[in-house]
Structure 1
Amino acid sequence: MLYTGKTLSLQALDHGQMELVLDAQGAAVNALNSVMVTELRAAVQLLEQVGGVTGLLVSSAKPAFVVGADVTEFQAFFALPDAGLTQWLLDTQAVFSQLESLPFPTVAMVNGLALGGGFELALACDLRVLNAKGKVGLPEVTLGLCPGWGGTVRLSRLAGVETALAWAVTGKPAAAAQALAQGAVDRVAAEGQLRETALALLQAASAGDVDYRAKRQQKQASVTITADALSAAHASQTARLDRHYPAPWQIADMLCQHAHLPFADALRAEAECFTLLARTDAASSLLGLFFNDQVLKKKTRAWGKQAAPVKQSAVLGAGIMGGGVAYQSALFGIPMLMKDINGAALDLGSKTIQQLLDRQVQKGTMTAEKKAAVLAAVKPTLDYSDFAAVDLVVEAVVENPAIKQRVLQEIEGLVAEDAVLTSNTSTISITSLAEGLARPAQFCGMHFFNPVPQMPLVEIIRGALSSDATIARAVAYADAIGKAPIVVNDCPGFLVNRILFPYFNGFNRLLKDGVDFQRIDKVMEAFGWPMGPAYLADVVGLDTMVHADEVMQAGFPERMGHDGETVIEALVSAGCLGQKNGKGFYEYGVDERGKRFKRPTALAQTLNAVTDARVTSDQDIIDRMMIPLCTEAVRCLDDGIVETAAEVDMGLILGLGFPRFRGGALRYLDTLGLSAFAGRVSAHAVHGALYTLPAGVQARLASASSFY
């Protein structure tokens, strides 16, 4: 062994070849951190001094090559002034260029994933061999950043500007066949033959049978592309970009600008673009979401360590939610009994599952064999004959407390004594549902969001008597079926709906004041929401909205109470349920040409009674919508509904589609500044208790602290 560090080692092979093995001690994966960069510099300097070397193989002892840069170090480097941050990037670029300039060929043997900084390291090698199931890519854009260690420069020169633009702007990793076809890798190795293929390529390069020097020259030369072609490539990748996310735009501009620059200038342009993006609010928010996601995963793993596994699950109710839960469980290999009292409902639930699977097969994302396995894992049933073996039950019957309690009491006596019962309620108190159960400690809430296959969040609601073992099993089950669980203490609306409905209360008050619901939708969509409140209410179901609003009014009458009938209540009274029956704030249908339409209903416009729109500014609309949501988010944290600000914000991101570039309600407050937010709240205090500053904000202002 010529060199041994904490993250890599250098050892001799046959025929004068050397191998640089990436293997971060005490870590499950390799991530490019400052220690690895320092040790890489030392190893390369050693290689420059050792005589007789004919080639270098760069490999990984982990299941993946390198998963990317160590993002946990970014906070310290981002605290540097612009010049210092750019210099950090240039210093790492210099190490990669030093590797690239070694007087013999280098081959990256890429197993599994090489993403971000890991792929940039592989690009600095002369040649790349990727295993057949591996993927490579530049996902930095998902964090609001761009590659900073030469990724866009080398890839644009190897694979072309069009390919580099597509990879860097979308952040999507490329599978082996695509990477090979587009010139990002030089060989794809069959299963079990990666090392053999990589060594053979290294030997061929050492012998002169593969011109590795031509590869170096190609990477370091400017790109040959016409101005028209460059402009067309830029337009193609930016046509549908969201202006709220500056990184894709900056990447496209930067990459097209450096295409004709000398190599060193192009590298600097990339580093300066990274520094520019690092200062944006979007990058701060998206990085915050990355760290928040790590918080959730850490908590989920901790619960999982104390959980008894779920080997057989069951769902009561084969409707939209029950069928979705059955599909999700079976998809991830946990058999599911789907119970209903109605044969037609079971048939509909089974048909829904079949349709979900058929769509995946048609898209090519699922094989016919996998589809058959999922279908076989769901057993529709009208009775409880097989329930003795069930480990966890999800009750998903109608949202009626009396019916839910009766069903839960019935099933409790038919399952094993250690089985866990859960309720997929969105509004009903878990503590109250537990009344009458013989084993209330083994009961909790599991609030799935609709549509279940698409929505990642599951709220695990702890009732007053729910045990840790019960919560652990529910968390572990949600995780096992591909969902993101957040543990929430019982309260009206739980976490997400408790925060959402003050937002709708603000909406109701705006309508009462004569602000056009179509305008509100446009303003809030421009703010970043995927849909405005009127459209969202239609999607949720206006009857569901009224029911949930009643729960919130009962739970928090001072803030959530309102005088008189709301527009939503009036629409429901007139039989308008939203998308459920095609009429709500908007009317939904298909025109004579077969094209779907959405247009405002005459009744909603009449009920809205719009006054002069100039009285209220767009910013006033935003404030009157967002202040109630944000203040309730603060109260949820300070009331202990969840433990951390990360869970509050991730609940809103995963459960509501809160604008990701804003990072969640509490991140939004930090970005805005608590003092500025307090001023906005004060300006709207005339609108009542919904617009009061929580004690938690006042305390943080007094201590000059923030949520993160």
Structure 2
Amino acid sequence: MITTERQGNVLVIVSNNPPVNALGQKVRQGLLAGIEAAAADASIDAVVIRCDGTTFFAGADITEFGKPPMGPDLNKVINLFEDSRKPVIAAIHGTALGGGLEVALACHYRVAVPSARLGLPEVKLGLIPGAGGTQRLPRVVGVAAALPMVVGGDPINAKKAAEIGLVDRVVSEGKLPEEAVAFAREVVGKPLPVSSRRTDRLADAVKDPAVFDNFRREQGRKLRGFEAPEAAIQAVKAAVELPFDAGMARERELFLKLMAGDQSKAQRHLFFAERAANKIENLGPGTPLIPINKVGILGAGTMGGGIAMNFLSAGIPVTLLEREQAPLDRGIATIAKNYERLAQRGSLTPEKVEAAMALITPTLSFESLADCDLVIEAVFENMDIKKEVFTKLDAVVKQGAILASNTSYLNVDEIAAMTKRPEFVLGLHFFSPANIMRLLEVVRGAKTLQSVLATAMALSRKINKIAVVSGVCYGFIGNRMLSPRQREAQKLILEGAKPWDVDRVLTDFGFPMGPFQMADLAGLDIGWSKEASKSSTVREVLCERDRRGQKTGKGFYDYDENRRGTPSAEVEEIIAGFIVQSGKPPRAIDDQEILERLLYPMVNEGAKILEEGMAQRASDIDVVWINGYGWPVFTGGPMFWADTIGLAKIVEGLKRHAALLGPEFSLSKLLEDKAAQGGRFNG
């Protein structure tokens, strides 16, 4: 796992701990032995730390979290690097993340190849660095450069790292071992730069301590609700205000508090949940995959174009089909515009944009899809239309190709039955905007082949999606659970709650928006027909009055020119009229009831999904809701959140509200049984 090799007067300590050279106990022990051996050997003048495989140390061994610690402690190991009287050089390729960057920071020098990325992503697990990252990084690069890395958690590239002083030299790709050794020989005999003893880069923050409050204010929206980012700011501030040892103690104190807290447990749960979602029941690792070399997409609208971009960006040719030339041209133009924005932001090079656009073939002919290996329909959400489309596809597309529906609600088995190859049909439910949202619900039909399912899961990784398998049911996992929440939101406003109070309760909980804000954003007239409208619901009346959401400047809210919404007196008047019609007087509804009425039925529906086998595991449901619907990450998802507050509390609340929840509500037996047994959905 850890080996050493001599190259003249340089000792090279090499880690080979696939897949990511995690800093587990055996690796730490090997590093300790290596640096001690270098210290004891008078013929060794310098030390290089590097890794075999695809990456430098990519972080701590997360499987050790929550278990009794096993020595040596990482701090002990890296303190020996820093205290070495012989220069220690970190040779970085791949990623140096978390504990990996903390190892590099304790080395006297860092060299990296251009493709390397360096970062401290612990905040994404609800933690902060625990081995000196918050103390050494600002001493090396300054507070202004350190804060985004520690608080945001996103890695930076080698070029940026060199610009801020984190990397001492960027070396040739593919020549890291020899160039790192050559660099080590250059610095032999020079004064050693020890990170923990530096104070020069802290001077700006000492002069202007407002840098921390300014950063909080600038990042406020991103950090809202999360505990770890604030702890990270406090830790970096300690690096400025306290001696190194006291700062380390403060870092440790903050780290341990977060480690024991619910938010970190939730975020660590999500980390493992996203990886578990790839493990499919009865689907072995040797399941043969169907080669996908060309993809066809029906529909060049917002959804179809977004879906196309996923494959184009992954280097997979796309044939894009529309019925008429004008919408086809608009779709191609929108894709080009989206790519231009990515290039302007620096997310893609102009060359990559050009390469992606070169892979798209626009067409008005169904026959152009004949040689595609996968065809995805993204047409109007209407069963009759989808049945007609699949009948045509079955007749045109080559045998052995996969046919997929991007339906959000409809029965995939009913769609598959229109073909002579139902075993090659499944649902691929992308979320809008499809080129940005990472969630993909893969809907397994009753006859879907194992190889078809395995191909869809492998392809999802290639196009950078987090895929979750669902069975066939109305709305699958996400939209099925959304339905009871939306239903209760509508009931609440007819009982006396204001739409903005309902929204506020959910945004205070951590959602980016509430149900009425979401409706205004999407457009209240989706599925509404002026000819069929009968003023029978609040939504119908709003649409009849041309209050159709943000696009018309008014919906449930009134909007200004910047699309900022404010409560609407007209909407209050409309709702009041419906309350009068109901014959029931409005009542005061407190925030706790609103929260329970909105979220407890969702947990109940999630439990039913598990009972019916529509989701493989509770954590899959959490992955869907966090990645597709904005459920706050720091709660771990609806099912983990239910575990955290207690299933008995959920059941008690549902029974208390049963009369208001109406005849459509029934309590999940799985939820009731687990609550009675003191059980949990997740582990």
Q: Normalising by the residue count of structure 1, what TM-score does the alignment of the two structures yield? A: 0.89
In structure 2, what is the equivalent of residue 557 of structure 1? none
Which residue of 34, 59, 62 maps to 1:68?
Answer: 59
In 1, the alpha carbon distance for the partners of 2:389 and 2:195 equals 70
1:609 partner SS? helix
In structure 2, what is the equivalent of residue 290 of structure 1? 271
In 2, the alpha carbon distance for the partners of 1:231 and 1:579 equals 38
Question: What is the Cα deviation at residue 576 of structure 1?
Answer: 4.5
Question: What is the Cα deviation at residue 196 of structure 1?
Answer: 3.5
Contact (CA 8 Å) 1:8, 1:39: kept in 2 or not?
yes
Matches within 5 A, 1:21-420: 21-24=14-17, 27-77=18-68, 91-206=73-188, 208=189, 210-212=190-192, 214-215=193-194, 218-219=197-198, 223-224=202-203, 227-237=206-216, 239-241=218-220, 242-299=223-280, 305-420=287-402
174-183 vs 650-659, which deviates more?
174-183
Cα distance change of structure 1 residues 230 and 193 upon mapping to structure 2, 3 Å threshold: farther
2:66 partner SS? helix
Q: Which letter does structure 2 place at the counterpart of 1:507?
A: A
In structure 2, what is the equivalent of residue 630 of structure 1? 603
Please tell me whether residue 20 in structure 1 is matched to residue 1 in structure 2: no
Cα distance change of structure 1 residues 220 and 351 upon mapping to structure 2, 3 Å threshold: closer
In structure 1, what is the equivalent of residue 582 of structure 2? none
Q: Which letter does structure 2 place at the counterpart of 1:694?
A: S
In structure 1, what is the equivalent of residue 572 of structure 2? 605
In 2, the alpha carbon distance for the partners of 1:297 and 1:22 equals 28
In structure 1, what is the equivalent of residue 647 of structure 2? 674
Per-residue Cα deviation, 1:270-321 (whole angstroms, up to 9, x for no partner)? 1111101112211111111101111124459967953202111111122221
In 2, the alpha carbon distance for the partners of 1:226 and 1:286 equals 31
Question: What is the Cα deviation at residue 52 of structure 1?
Answer: 2.5
Question: What is the Cα deviation at residue 565 of structure 1?
Answer: 4.3
Q: Which letter does structure 2 place at the counterpart of 1:349?
A: G
Cα distance change of structure 1 residues 220 and 170 upon mapping to structure 2, 3 Å threshold: same
- In structure 2, the gaps of 5 or more residues are 530-534, 580-584
1:385 partner SS? helix
Please tell me whether residue 699 in structure 1 is matched to residue 639 in structure 2: no
Q: Which letter does structure 2 place at the counterpart of 1:11?
A: E
In structure 2, what is the equivalent of residue 81 of structure 1? none
In structure 2, what is the equivalent of residue 571 of structure 1? 542
Contact (CA 8 Å) 1:144, 1:287: kept in 2 or not?
yes
Contact (CA 8 Å) 1:146, 1:168: kept in 2 or not?
yes
Q: Which letter does structure 1 place at the counterpart of 2:29?
A: T
Per-residue Cα deviation, 1:98-133 (whole angstroms, up to 9, x for no partner)? 222223111111112101000001111111111122
Per-residue Cα deviation, 1:498-552 (whole angstroms, up to 9, x for no partner)? 00111101101101102110111122111111111101122333344779xxxxx
Q: Which letter does structure 1 place at the counterpart of 2:472?
A: D
In 1, the alpha carbon distance for the partners of 2:395 and 2:404 equals 14
1:249 partner SS? helix
Contact (CA 8 Å) 2:647, 2:678: kept in 1 or not?
no
In 2, the alpha carbon distance for the partners of 1:425 and 1:579 equals 25
Contact (CA 8 Å) 1:162, 1:233: kept in 2 or not?
no
Question: What is the Cα deviation at residue 222 of structure 1?
Answer: 10
Per-residue Cα deviation, 1:470-497 (whole angstroms, up to 9, x for no partner)? 3233333333322222221111111110
1:269 partner SS? helix
In 2, the alpha carbon distance for the partners of 1:256 and 1:191 equals 36
1:65 partner SS? coil
In 2, the alpha carbon distance for the partners of 1:217 and 1:345 equals 61
Cα distance change of structure 1 residues 451 and 700 upon mapping to structure 2, 3 Å threshold: same
In structure 1, what is the equivalent of residue 629 of structure 2? 656
Per-residue Cα deviation, 1:354-396 (whole angstroms, up to 9, x for no partner)? 1111111222222222222222211111113332211111112
Per-residue Cα deviation, 1:584-629 (whole angstroms, up to 9, x for no partner)? 3234563xxxx44434555533222299998211111111111111
In structure 2, what is the equivalent of residue 561 of structure 1? none
Question: What is the Cα deviation at residue 398 of structure 1?
Answer: 1.5
Q: Which letter does structure 2 place at the counterpart of 1:12?
A: R
Question: What is the Cα deviation at residue 180 of structure 1?
Answer: 1.6
Cα distance change of structure 1 residues 464 and 571 upon mapping to structure 2, 3 Å threshold: farther
Contact (CA 8 Å) 1:234, 1:256: kept in 2 or not?
no
In 1, the alpha carbon distance for the partners of 2:361 and 2:317 equals 8
- In structure 1, the gaps of 5 or more residues are 1-6, 78-84, 548-563
In structure 2, what is the equivalent of residue 684 of structure 1? 657
Please tell me whether residue 586 in structure 1 is matched to residue 580 in structure 2: no
In 2, the alpha carbon distance for the partners of 1:403 and 1:226 equals 63
532-541 vs 351-360, which deviates more?
532-541
1:531 partner SS? coil
Q: Which letter does structure 1 place at the counterpart of 2:10?
A: Q
Contact (CA 8 Å) 2:278, 2:468: kept in 1 or not?
no
298-307 vs 526-535, which deviates more?
298-307
Contact (CA 8 Å) 1:122, 1:128: kept in 2 or not?
yes
In 1, the alpha carbon distance for the partners of 2:402 and 2:437 equals 23
In 1, the alpha carbon distance for the partners of 2:528 and 2:292 equals 36
Question: What is the Cα deviation at residue 64 of structure 1?
Answer: 1.0
2:404 partner SS? strand
How many residues are aligned here? 667
In 1, the alpha carbon distance for the partners of 2:349 and 2:399 equals 38
In 2, the alpha carbon distance for the partners of 1:131 and 1:203 equals 18
Q: Which letter does structure 1 place at the counterpart of 2:58?
A: V
In 2, the alpha carbon distance for the partners of 1:90 and 1:603 equals 67
Question: What is the Cα deviation at residue 51 of structure 1?
Answer: 3.1
Q: Which letter does structure 2 place at the counterpart of 1:568?
A: R
Cα distance change of structure 1 residues 144 and 599 upon mapping to structure 2, 3 Å threshold: same
Per-residue Cα deviation, 1:323-354 (whole angstroms, up to 9, x for no partner)? 22222221211111111111111111111111
Question: What is the Cα deviation at residue 18 of structure 1?
Answer: 0.7
Which residue of 4, 12, 19 maps to 1:10?
Answer: 4
Q: Which letter does structure 2 place at the counterpart of 1:674?
A: L
Q: Normalising by the residue count of structure 2, what TM-score does the alignment of the two structures yield? A: 0.92
Cα distance change of structure 1 residues 228 and 677 upon mapping to structure 2, 3 Å threshold: farther
In 1, the alpha carbon distance for the partners of 2:248 and 2:115 equals 30
Question: What is the Cα deviation at residue 452 of structure 1?
Answer: 0.8
Per-residue Cα deviation, 1:192-226 (whole angstroms, up to 9, x for no partner)? 343343222211222x2x322x4357349995466
Contact (CA 8 Å) 2:106, 2:194: kept in 1 or not?
no
In 1, the alpha carbon distance for the partners of 2:54 and 2:204 equals 38
In 2, the alpha carbon distance for the partners of 1:260 and 1:321 equals 51
In structure 1, what is the equivalent of residue 532 of structure 2? none
In 2, the alpha carbon distance for the partners of 1:237 and 1:90 equals 36
Q: Which letter does structure 2 place at the counterpart of 1:271?
A: R
Please tell me whether residue 461 in structure 1 is matched to residue 443 in structure 2: yes
In 2, the alpha carbon distance for the partners of 1:131 and 1:147 equals 24
2:597 partner SS? helix
Contact (CA 8 Å) 2:295, 2:319: kept in 1 or not?
yes
Question: What is the Cα deviation at residue 583 of structure 1?
Answer: 4.1
Cα distance change of structure 1 residues 254 and 132 upon mapping to structure 2, 3 Å threshold: same
Please tell me whether residue 523 in structure 1 is matched to residue 505 in structure 2: yes
Across the aligned residues of Structure 1 and Structure 2, the Cα RMSD in angstroms comes to: 2.6
In 2, the alpha carbon distance for the partners of 1:298 and 1:122 equals 34
191-200 vs 307-316, which deviates more?
191-200
In 1, the alpha carbon distance for the partners of 2:547 and 2:442 equals 32
